[in-house]
Copies of this chain bind each other. A is one copy, B any other.
Amino acid sequence: MRYLKKMDKRPIGIFDSGLGGLTVLKEVKKLLPNESIIYLGDTARVPYGTRSKVAIVKFSFQDANFLIKKNVKCIVIACNTASALAGDEIKRKIGLPVFEVINPAAKRAIKLSKHGEIGVVGTWATIKSNAYKKAVLAQGKQIEVFQQACPLFVPLIEEGEIHGELIRALIHGYLRFIKSRRVETLILGCTHYPIIEMEIKREMGKNVALVNPGKEVAKELKRFLLEKGITSPKKVQRFDRYYVTDLTDRFVKVAEMFLGEKLSGSLRRISLE
Contacts and interface: CB of A to CB of B under 8 A. Distances in A.
A1 interface: no
Interface centre among A43, A55, A151, A249 (most CB of B within 10 A): A55
A261 interface: no
Contacts of A44: 45, 51, 55
Given A52-B247, A52-B248, A55-B44, A170 B159 contact: no
A273 interface: yes
Interface in A35-49: 43-45
Given A152-B155, A152-B161, A248 B169 contact: no
Contact of A165 (B51, B128, B151, B169): B169
A159 B151 contact: yes
A169 B170 CA distance: 12
A50 interface: yes
A156 interface: yes
Contact of A155 (B155, B166, B247, B250): B155
B161 A246 contact: no
Nearest to A51: B246
A50 B248 contact: yes
B165 A155 contact: no
A45 B124 CA distance: 16
Contacts of A247: 52, 54
Contacts of A154: 155
Contacts of A52: 246-248
Nearest to A43: B51
A156 B55 CA distance: 23
A124 B161 CA distance: 15
Interface in A162-208: 165-166, 169-170
A151 B154 CA distance: 12
Nearest to A165: B169
Interface in A193-250: 246-250
Contacts of A128: 249
Interface of A: 43-45, 50-52, 54-55, 124, 128, 151-152, 154-156, 158-159, 161, 165-166, 169-170, 246-250, 269, 273
13 contacts: A43-B51, A44-B45, A44-B51, A44-B55, A52-B247, A52-B248, A54-B246, A54-B269, A128-B249, A152-B161, A155-B155, A166-B170, A169-B169
